[in-house]
Chains A and B, each alone.
Chain A
Amino acid sequence: MRDLYGRFGPWLSTVFLSLVFIWLAGMVLAPNLMMIDYALRPNLPPAAIGGPDDGYSLNNILYLAGEATHRAIFLKTIWASALVALVTFLVCYPIAFWMAQRATTGQLSVALLLIIIPFFINEVLRTLAWFIILAYRGPLNAVLTNLGLIDAPIRWQGDGGVLAAMVYAYILFMLLPIYNAIESLEKAQIEAARDLGASPWRIHTRVVIPHAKAGIATGFVFTFMLAAGSYVAPALLGSPGSRWFTEIIYNWFFEGGDWNRGAAYALVLLVLCLAVVLITLRIARVNLADVAK
């Protein structure tokens, strides 16, 4: 702090500190505290607020545990988001390895450009693209029927469609951290392992993946968090049988009219994501500072 004053003088330092304070206190901390406050209070008509019924309790959160449908959707969102992260990892790993260790400089810059372009396009449009492809009378069903792979069109909308579109949407968040991590691995280490007789499988599981652990953990954390918090893919590509936790939250706010329960559900989602982030980083022994790069 003294360093800041010494560097920019009292006037500028005060401006900087106030801006940061307004951001952290007014835009990050205060909204979250108010959300917690809402989550712990019952939903009352305006006249009863502050009255005898108003008080803190865990009822809104316990409601989620007691409501069978909501609980099932919550649990499904967790494992489905983990599945999205896993599939994204499996899709990305070979590409990341190739880019970091095998590709020539020319191939690499083309590959990076090709991978980044789709991600400049917004998530709603990317989901719309999948909506069109997966339509019942859409191109995918037409191609598969013409090739004779399926007899009748398949209804892709639902879990399958949501998975395809989410993996598609989050590839970059998985690919770049893994690529960065593998890139710093010396080629000589891979060659040494091979000369010592390691199979390709062992080279990856014992040399490359341990080295790229931090990158893989980062990719997992981001993909999981984005998937669990996603609204657009399940809303456009889901079916009534594949509802997502964010849709339930949305309904509490704009259809159910119970903001307190909505806040409690949002709080549960937040705690879940933070827990996954912290546990994953602890397991992989990654510092938070390395994640946000």
Chain B
Amino acid sequence: MSVADRIFRGLFVLYLAAFALYLFAPLIIMGAAAFNESRFPTVIPWQGTTTDWFGAMWADRAMWQSLWTSVLVALCVVVVVVPVGTAAALVLTSLHARARSFAYAVMVSPLLTPGVVIGISTLILWRQLGVGGGVFLIVLAQSTFIICYVMLMVMARLQRFDRTQEEAALGLGASRGMVFRRVTLPFLKPALLASGGLAVLQSIENYNTTLFVRGFETPLTVFIATKVRTGLTPAVNALALVIIVATVLGAIAYEIARRRQAARPRG
């Protein structure tokens, strides 16, 4: 290896390290600030280690209220998006080439629409019908684009589906409804579970769309963003740390489940 190569390699390792620092330093600093006694969340100067901020977070009724709103919304979103997304995937895979590419473009268009626009258009339509912002509109607006994710995940799974299984079941005298329930649906189950999990995550973390249709509700993301403006204390960092740990654990559990699923020959 020439000297130039070595220098280049060394520089690249430095770049990788800087990139890792860029990815993780913000999260680590935010988490660490939850343990600092300082009233404003920071790590410099360190004014003493404390876990009081977790207690303050726990005692915050508004926080619990907003968490409940977010969870309620997420559960409703799952109930809406999984059936509709699955139906969309099945309809799309049953279309012929020409119609399919057009329908596909229409069905992924919500993903290419800015989140604020989805929120705004939903808000306007429903005001016309006399319905104001609130949990119902949040669920509806979020579902508009989360359905796309479910559809794409179910379609990916359907590509590996052997349609002769359905035909075989029909040939053996099963009704069409039974074929769907006993053959197609069980095959899709892993994709349905995964997309349900993704939908919960997408719903809870959404801010742009939710902001416009929230009415007088304060979901978790809105709660946190408001705190930043009205008075940030490390209690918000404590909440952030809890959410981070929960999401990372959830991501790891999901990854393990996915690998197990993939290891199985025909899961």
Contacts and interface: CB of A to CB of B under 8 A. Distances in A.
A117 B251 contact: yes
Interface in B92-132: 94-96, 101, 104-118, 120-125, 127-128
B27 A129 contact: yes
Given A9-B175, A31-B125, A292-B148, A124 B225 contact: yes
B26 A122 contact: no
Interface stretch (A58-66, A137-145, A202-210): A137-145
A20 interface: yes
B59 interface: no
Contacts of A47: none
Contacts, number: 228
Given A128-B236, A129-B29, A288-B104, A259 B124 contact: yes
B122 A120 contact: no
Contacts of B228: 128, 131, 236
A273 B112 contact: yes
Main SS at interface, chain B: helix
B96 A132 contact: no
Contacts of A9: 175-177
Interface string B227-241: 011001000110010
A20 B44 contact: no
Contacts of A230: 208
B221 A292 contact: no
Given A20-B84, A130-B26, 20 more contacts: A8-B180, A12-B176, A23-B84, A34-B128, A35-B121, A35-B125, A98-B12, A117-B248, A120-B201, A122-B205, A122-B207, A124-B224, A171-B23, A225-B114, A229-B208, A249-B120, A259-B127, A270-B117, A274-B112, A293-B152
Interface of A: 1, 3-4, 7-9, 11-12, 15-17, 19-20, 22-24, 27-28, 30-32, 34-35, 38, 91, 94-95, 98, 113-118, 120-126, 128-133, 135, 137-139, 142-143, 168, 171, 221, 225-226, 228-232, 235-236, 246, 249-250, 253, 259, 262-263, 266, 269-270, 273-274, 277, 287-289, 291-293
Interface of B: 12, 15-16, 19-20, 22-27, 29-30, 33, 40-44, 83-84, 87-88, 90-91, 94-96, 101, 104-118, 120-125, 127-128, 140, 143-144, 147-148, 152, 166, 175-177, 179-180, 201, 204-205, 207-208, 211-212, 221, 224-225, 228-229, 232, 236-237, 240, 243-244, 247-248, 250-251, 255
